[in-house]
Structures are given as C-alpha cells and as structure tokens.
Chains A and B, each alone.
Chain A
C-alpha cells in the first residue's frame, strides 16, 4: 500500500487538492527565496545535478527481505546532504517532473504529493535529524546514526500527512483510522529500509567528502575524523530494535486493535450506535460511520498527528540557513 505516494488525479477531493497545492507553493516559494540567497549562485547547477542524483537513486533496487526489493525515497537524505530548504526543493522538483513528464502522479495531485514526498520528509526529516543528533556523540557515527533514525521517521511523517489529507478529502468511504493504521503501519516498515539505506549512504559520503554533508557542517575537523566504522549488520540490528519498539507503541492505535480503543469507547459511553452522536454534525461524520466506537480515538489520532506534523515540519522550515556553504568553497 504505497498508495500514499505518487497519487493520481482524483485520489483526493478537489478542496484538499487545492488547499495542499497552495500550501506547497507557499512553503516552496519561501524555501526558494531564502535558499538561493544563502547558497549564492551555486544553487542552480548544484540543485540540478542533485535532482538528477535523487532521480537516479530512487531507481536503485535495494534488497529488503525475502527476495523483495525496496527503493529509496530520499527526502530526508536530500535534506541532510543539501540542507532542508534546498533538499525540499530538489525532491519537489523530482516529484513534479515525475508527474508532468512520466505520468507518475497526477498533475492535480501535485499539491499533496509534493507535501507527502518532498516537504514533510525533507523538513520533518531535518528537524528529526537535529533532534536525534543531540542523543548522539558529535562524530561521523553520530551524524550517521541521527541521519538513519531521522530518515525512518521522515517516511512515517509523510504517511501521517497523507492520512490527514485522507481525513479531509477522501474520495472513497474508507475510514480514517483504517487508512491511518494501514498506511502508517506499512510506512513504518518502509521507514526501516529508508533509515538503513540513508544511514549507509551518509556514512559513505562522510568518508570521502564530509564537507559536502550539510548535516555535518557544524562539526569541526577533529570531530569529523572520529567515529567508529559501522557495518550494515549493526544497522540492521539497530534498525530492527527501533522498529519493534515503535511498532509496539503504535500498535495500540491501529484499527482493529482489540482492547485499547474499545475500552476507551466503552468507558466514555460511546459504544451505542443508537445514541445521537456528538460528532455527527462534524466534518468527520462521513468517515466515522465505520466503527463509530473509534471516533474519539480517530479524532485523537488526527489531532496528535496534526500537532506533531506542524511542530516538526514547522521547525524544519524555520531552521535558519546554515553557514556551511562557506566551507565547501575550494
């Protein structure tokens, strides 16, 4: 169910398509104006070849499990390598080109596709990266570890954003909590792969050209030189542990999860379908008709997701331009 990405025309209703298009344009417009100032005129060729890199990287087959292959999404990777604003622009351009020229994603769906595949992963991933960096030592390993976790989180954030858009603009009667559980659940798995791959790629770049990694810009040369060599096996083990923890926490919220939600519903006295429902008149009413007992939980999930997204992505957008551009002048 990677249906949260590259959605075609008509997948979400026009009001949501329109609103997300405006939001995406506003955010990217802001990013464009500020990033071209701070990176000076190197931006255009650099962003161009980076966009080509992201495009090519997304086509690489990575072995995931039991013969299946996965692909890199690259939003957080772009942000960690290029900085959040240029990263968001670069991936947004890839998404737009895929829609316009490769029929991969609808033109009227560009608003939410850009938000879910570029804006949220890049800015949200960057914010998560800066957050995780504080848990790690200031070294190459630290940058790699933070990058890994952040990119995994970025994928889940994108899935959350899609679910919220579904809440307001679904074109089919699948309940929000079902969509949230399924899409976010699948993307947790995808996020593990993304985290693993991103970490390894960042580690490789740090070995040869640490000065081109925006996320490592505030490390001094001695810090950059330190850090143990991390193998892919370590990553796999670490990633699995992280995933299990996350899965356990989130499993309480997935649709169809037996005890948690229903117990809440019963105690709150919401389990009777016969009673006039307090939310019946709200915009959620159409979608809450499936499993009315879960409506409070749905609202809570939606509210929490919205809050998390706004905070994390907002922080990423607001995070000022780095002084790293000066370091890469040769």
Chain B
C-alpha cells in the first residue's frame, strides 16, 4: 500500500544546487523515462548490465547530493513486491536446488532477481527526479513534453489543494478522537466514512468557488501559458540523457557476456 501515511504536508523536494537540480525539468523527465525503459527492457539474464545500471543510479544520486537513508526511506513502497520476489524461488517453478530443508527453483530465482533489480532501479530513478525537482517545475516539464494542458492543469490543482484537503481531514479526525472516538470495529467506521463524505461535498464546493474565481479573471476553458522559466539547452539535454545512454552501453556490454 502507500508508504506515505501520516504526512499532512508532503515534502518531496530536497533542496540543493547540484547539477541534477539545475537541469531543466523536461530534460530530466525524458531522461528518467529513457533510463527506466532501458532497464525494464533488459533481459534478466544480462546481470552485468544491471550492475552497470546500479552504478549509474548511485552515481546520479550522489551527484544530486541525496543520502542513503533518504533513498531507502522512499523505497518502502516496493517492499511488498520484494517480499513476493523472495518467496518465488521456493514456491514456483520446478525445484532444481536445495537451500537447507527448502527446495529452490532456477526459474524462480531468475524471476525473483528480475523483480528485485527492475523494481529497485525504477523506483530509485523516480526518487532522484522527485527529490531534485520542485512540483511546479515538474508540471512545467510535463507541459513542455506535450502532455495535454488539461491533465497538467488537473495535477497542478491537485497539488495546490492537497495540503488544504489533508488538513481538513486531519482536523476532522482529531475532532473525533477528542471525543474518544477511535474506530476499531467495522460497524464503527460510520463516522469516518461520514466525515469523508462531508469532505467530498466541501471539496466539490471549493472546486466550484475556484472555478468562479477563474472565470472572474477571464478564464474561458483553457489555462493560459505562464511559462517563464528558462528553456533547456543542448547541454541540459545531453546531461539528462547520459544515464540512459550509459545504461544502453551497459546493456550492450551485459548482453555480450
């Protein structure tokens, strides 16, 4: 499930002035996607390629000034899948080896490796992006990559009002707890659900009010382009694509051996 329980204010961005931080967001997004694609498409038997990928990922994270504890903390979402992967050699595929009293299968081992390697690398790569790119820049990057303006707009509003809505929710929960209400049985989840329903009604009303405010300032259906930040240089793009290019090199090397 989601690893971000209990946060009222979501802080994803880690301040810094590294080379990674300073790249234009659209280049970083493209670079991330390219890298993840190379990783996901690599056959699992090319183990050396994956070693290469790991080195690249560590390299970029270090360049960005991101520390190991932070990376590990944010990797918690993949833990259920890592556990699943660990079970695979013992519970799937025809048995081919013994580990003490347990039988392992070669097929299962390869599958486990496949999941562990790709899940970890994919997650690590997006963590690096998020930590080095503030949300408004991510949005700018998405729109420059031709993601439909409507979608970018929706995401922008989502982030703008997420804190307010979660504060609202926390306040309701605290009010309930203050009256010694801590639901533990299924038939006690009425008030929790009811407060969620009230929250939706309020959220909908806020959406209507925001729309009015937009119309009052001349909005007629399409978000105006307010993109004033710097445009990417060739150098930015080359830097951003380097991890993917290095990964491709690593893949070729891994494929040969």
- A is bound by B: yes
Tell me if A93 and B126 are in contact (CB < 8 A): no
With A32-B151, A44-B157 already in contact, the answer to whether A8 and B207 are too (CB < 8 A) is no
Near A by CB (< 8 A), chain B positions 141-194 give 148, 150-151, 153-162, 165-166, 169, 183-190, 192-194
Tell me if A45 and B157 are in contact (CB < 8 A): yes
Tell me if B118 and A8 are in contact (CB < 8 A): yes
Tell me if B219 and A89 are in contact (CB < 8 A): no
Tell me if B80 and A11 are in contact (CB < 8 A): no
In the complex the two chains form, what is the Cα distance from A173 to B77 in whole Å? 24
With A11-B115, A44-B150, A101-B126 already in contact, the answer to whether A52 and B203 are too (CB < 8 A) is yes
Does chain B have a CB within 8 A of A107?
yes
With A48-B207, A196-B186, A232-B190 already in contact, the answer to whether A53 and B200 are too (CB < 8 A) is yes
Tell me if A205 and B197 are in contact (CB < 8 A): yes
| Stretch binding the partner chain, chosen from B34-42, B224-232, B247-255 | B34-42
CB nearest neighbor in B for A231: B190
| Stretch binding the partner chain, chosen from A54-62, A245-253, A299-307, A309-317 | A54-62
Near A by CB (< 8 A), chain B positions 28-76 give 32-33, 36-37, 39-41, 44, 74-75
**Closest CB of chain B to A152's CB: distance in Å?**
14
Does chain A have a CB within 8 A of B242?
no
With A8-B122, A41-B221, A62-B192 already in contact, the answer to whether A102 and B130 are too (CB < 8 A) is yes
In the complex the two chains form, what is the Cα distance from A106 to B150 in whole Å? 23
Tell me if A67 and B184 are in contact (CB < 8 A): yes
Q: What is the size, in residues, of chain A's interface with B at 8 Å between Cβ atoms?
A: 82
Tell me if A97 and B158 are in contact (CB < 8 A): yes
Tell me if A56 and B154 are in contact (CB < 8 A): no
Tell me if A172 and B88 are in contact (CB < 8 A): yes
In the complex the two chains form, what is the Cα distance from A100 to B159 in whole Å? 14
Interface residues of chain A: helix, strand, loop or mixed (majority): helix
Tell me if B165 and A172 are in contact (CB < 8 A): no
Does chain A have a CB within 8 A of B97?
no
CB nearest neighbor in A for B223: A44
Tell me if A10 and B119 are in contact (CB < 8 A): yes
Residues of chain A lying within 8 A (CB to CB) of residue B121: 9
CB nearest neighbor in B for A212: B204
Tell me if B41 and A14 are in contact (CB < 8 A): yes
Does chain A have a CB within 8 A of B108?
yes
Tell me if B194 and A204 are in contact (CB < 8 A): yes
In the complex the two chains form, what is the Cα distance from A10 to B201 in whole Å? 39
**Closest CB of chain B to A54's CB: distance in Å?**
9
Tell me if B162 and A56 are in contact (CB < 8 A): yes
With A2-B80, A8-B115 already in contact, the answer to whether A232 and B188 are too (CB < 8 A) is yes
**Closest CB of chain A to B81's CB: distance in Å?**
5
Mark A60-73 against chain B: 1 for CB-CB distance below 8 A, else 0: 11111101000110
CB nearest neighbor in A for B206: A49
Mark A12-56 against chain B: 1 for CB-CB distance below 8 A, else 0: 001001000000000000001000100011111111111111011
Does chain B have a CB within 8 A of A282?
no
Tell me if B200 and A201 are in contact (CB < 8 A): yes
Residues of chain B lying within 8 A (CB to CB) of residue A63: 183-186, 188-189
In the complex the two chains form, what is the Cα distance from A57 to B150 in whole Å? 23
In the complex the two chains form, what is the Cα distance from A36 to B157 in whole Å? 16
Near A by CB (< 8 A), chain B positions 72-95 give 74-75, 77-78, 80-81, 84, 88, 91-93
Known contacts A11-B115, A46-B204, A49-B203; 19 further A-B pairs (Cβ under 8 A): A8-B118, A40-B221, A42-B211, A44-B157, A45-B210, A47-B154, A52-B159, A56-B162, A59-B166, A93-B155, A104-B2, A108-B122, A173-B93, A201-B200, A209-B204, A232-B188, A232-B193, A236-B186, A330-B208
Q: Which 3 A-B pairs have the closest CB atoms?
A: A48-B157, A204-B197, A10-B118
What are 28 inter-chain pairs, A to B, with CB distance below 8 A?
A: A3-B80, A3-B81, A9-B122, A10-B117, A41-B215, A41-B221, A42-B207, A42-B208, A44-B157, A46-B207, A48-B154, A52-B162, A57-B196, A59-B2, A61-B5, A63-B188, A67-B184, A89-B151, A101-B12, A102-B12, A102-B74, A102-B130, A103-B74, A103-B127, A104-B77, A107-B33, A172-B92, A204-B193
